[in-house]
Amino acid sequence: MLLLSEISAITGGLPLRAQADFKISGITTDSRNVKTGDCFIALKGDKHDGAMFATEASKRGARCFIVEKDTPNSLPNVIIVKDSYRALLDLASAYRVQFSAKTIGVTGSCGKTTVKEAVAFLLGINHTVLSNEGNLNNHIGLPLTLFRLKKEHKFVVAEMGANHRGEIALLASVAKPDVGVIVNVNPVHLEGFGDIQAIYRTKLELAEYVNHQDGIIVTNGDDEILRSLVHSFKGRVFLFGRSKACHIRLTQFIAVGDEALMEVNKKYRFPVRTAAPFQAMNILCALTVLHALGKPVGYFERGLYDFKFPKGRFEAIPLESGATIYFDGYNANPAAFRASLEAFHHAAPEGRKIVLCGDMLELGDRAEEYHRQLGEGLAEYDLQGIIAVGQWRDTVIEAVRERTRKHIFARSFEHKEEAADFLRSILRQRDRILIKGSRRLQLESVIDDLKKIRRLGAMVCP
């Protein structure tokens, strides 16, 4: 991988007790994952110091240690650096340039993990592809992904997340993408960004990097702001969406049960394992990336059906009791909630439709406003029940009650366990339940509670 002397030079660190030069076999930040011959980077944060685990890493076979202060037991081959996170990024950047794999960088407010997985799946039909595992898309996860790069990889699909200005630019400088993909821009992480304009500027950091490399930009053509911002870029620009301005267009979407048929450019028809229109847009984005890379869109008409959408993204979960849960618990912001409700409306034509909604986090000063709007939006749908949990539960339920005149039960609970108990008490065999909220709320525990029900008795709607 890299020589000990190269690591010292790349990080600008001070070597202590260096032995004869040797090549390390890998780089890790988790002492539990150390393999023999690895370099262990002891990341130091406000509440933790990885140096405390250097001894454990040594016992597991680590031969090199990057720390911000010397280890207490004077381990050999220690490199002292000013910033362990910066060292991780610098090493990943230096390692990345050793390979010729074409890199696709993917960012966006919603759907970037699905797009990343879909692009990797489609490219993987004919090529060896490396991509982030799960949503390891930040200044730690992305470098660790790049350290898995090997000569046989022809493509890297790198998801890039951010909650502050400058983070996408930093990740792009490390991954060095040839293709920049901006899936969409929505009000998320407003506590870090401040306003929607800052989010646009941050996502455009990826396009600006690619533009300087005369690369390819793929972005949402239905967003007039995005479309105008990339219009002047000198690199090749490809648009996806429903509007006629797009190179790859979704011209029809027909949902049947939990599956659908996508029509693209009035020519290609793709059966997909989702009834969610917003997932169709993510697939459309992936197809546009392949089109931009010179791959024929029609080639994937049948193969795309084998693509499995990531867990927790409007995932249909049938229960033994006969009810069905639609779990969408990995992204909760106003736009994502609207998209999920629209998908739920079309995907659940039979039985009672109930929504369990959790807080949308990191919305800053506008959190109350957005949660009130959520309640107003919920009232517009043909729902039989709405349950809210979290800090803003009462704001949501009050807005629902103010707007709706339909026969509907609307309840709020401080804790998700209370909401789960209530759901278990009123559940019917053909009920359809949408569970959505920010990932931090861990609403999947409600699913575990509902799975315990084997048979439903005669129950009445409260």
Burial class (CB in 10 A: 0-12, 13-18, 19+), 309: buried
Q: Which of 442, 427, 414 lies closest to 354 in space, CA to CA? A: 427
CATH of the domain at 19: 3.40.1390.10
Is residue 389 predicted with pLDDT exceeding 90? yes
Q: Note the pLDDT tens digit of each residue in 264-295.
A: 999 999 999 998 999 999 999 999 999 999 99
* pLDDT score, position 346: 82
CATH code of the domain covering residue 323: 3.90.190.20
Q: Which of 22, 55, 83 is the last residue of a domain?
A: 83
Same domain, 300 and 404: no
| Dihedral of alpha carbons 11, 16, 19, 25, sign | negative
Instruction: Say whether pLDDT at 351 is over 60.
Output: yes
Instruction: Render 349-382 in DSSP notation, one character per residue.
Output: -SS-EEEEE----S-GGGHHHHHHHHHHHHHTS-
Let me know if residue 459 belongs to a domain: no
Give the tens place of pLDDT for each residue, 60-76: 999 999 999 988 788 99
State the first-to-last Cα distance of the chain, in angstroms, to the nearest integer.
Answer: 63
Question: Does any domain span residue 221?
Answer: yes
Question: Up-side HSE of residue 153: CA atoms within 13 Å toward CB?
Answer: 21
Q: Are residues 346 and 445 in the same domain?
A: yes
- Among positive and negative, which fits the CA dihedral 217, 221, 223, 228? positive
pLDDT at 264: 97
If pLDDT is split at 50, 70 and 90, which confidence band does 190 have?
confident
pLDDT in tens, 352-387: 999 999 999 989 899 999 999 999 999 999 899 999
- Average pLDDT value for residue range 245-265: 93
Distances (CA, A) of 380 to 255, 349, 371, 415: 21, 16, 15, 26
Distance CA 9, CA 13 (A): 7
Q: Sorting pLDDT into bands at 50, 70 and 90, what band is 459?
A: very low
Residue 207 forms part of a structural domain: yes
- Provide mean pLDDT across the span 129-144: 92
**Cα separation, 58 vs 40, whole angstroms:** 9
* Residue 411 covered by a domain: yes
| pLDDT band at residue 455 using 50, 70 and 90 as cut-offs | low
pLDDT (tens digit per residue) in 50-61: 999 999 999 999
Alpha-carbon dihedral angle through residues 260, 114, 133, 102, given to the nearest 10 degrees:
110
Which of 306, 327, 348 terminates a domain? The answer is 306
Band (461; pLDDT cuts 50, 70, 90): very low
Q: Answer whether 438's CB lies under 8 Å from 357's CB.
A: no
132 and 263 inside one domain: yes
Mean local confidence (pLDDT), 238-266:
94
CATH of residue 260 = 3.40.1190.10
Domain shared by 64 and 105, yes or no? no
Residues 364, 285 within the same domain: no
35 and 108 both lie in a single domain: no
In a domain, 33, yes or no: yes
**Residue 40's pLDDT band (boundaries 50, 70, 90)?**
very high
Residue 104, domain member (yes or no)? yes
User: Residue 169 contacts by C-beta under 8 Å, 6 or more apart in sequence?
Assistant: 205, 206, 208, 209
**Same structural domain, 208 and 230:** yes
Indicate if 300 and 366 belong to the same structural domain: no
Query: In 134-170, which positions are buried (b, 16+ CB within 10 angstroms) versus exposed (e)?
Result: ebbbbbbbbbbbbbebeeebbbbbbbbbbeeeebbbb
Distance, in Å, from the CA atom of 27 to the CA atom of 145, rounded to the nearest integer, reads 10
pLDDT of residue 296: 93
Q: Span 391-419, mean pLDDT? A: 91
Shared domain check, 151 and 67:
no
Q: State percent of the chain over pLDDT 90.
A: 76
71 and 129 together in one domain: no
CA angle 140, 330, 178 (to 5 degrees): 50
Quick one: pLDDT at residue 462?
Answer: 43
CA pair distance 181, 239, nearest whole angstrom:
10
Tokens of 244: 């006629």
What DSSP line would sit under 91-103, residue for residue? HHHHHHTT---EE
User: Is residue 45 classed exposed, middle or buried when 0-12, 13-18 and 19+ CB atoms within 10 A define those classes?
Assistant: exposed
As a whole number of angstroms, the distance between CA 458 and CA 446 comes to 22
| Residues 284 and 340 reside in one and the same domain | no
Domain ranges, residue 49: 2-83
pLDDT at site 143: 96
Looking from the CA of 402 toward its CB, the CA atoms found within 13 Å total: 12
User: In this structure, is residue 460 part of a structural domain?
Assistant: no
Query: Taking the CB of residue 306, how many other CB atoms lie within 10 A of it?
Result: 9
Over range 246-265, report the average pLDDT.
Answer: 94
Which of 285, 306, 327 is the C-terminal boundary of a domain? 306
- Same-domain pairing of 250 and 339: no
421 Cβ neighbours under 8 A, 6+ residues apart: 449
Number of domains comprising the chain:
3
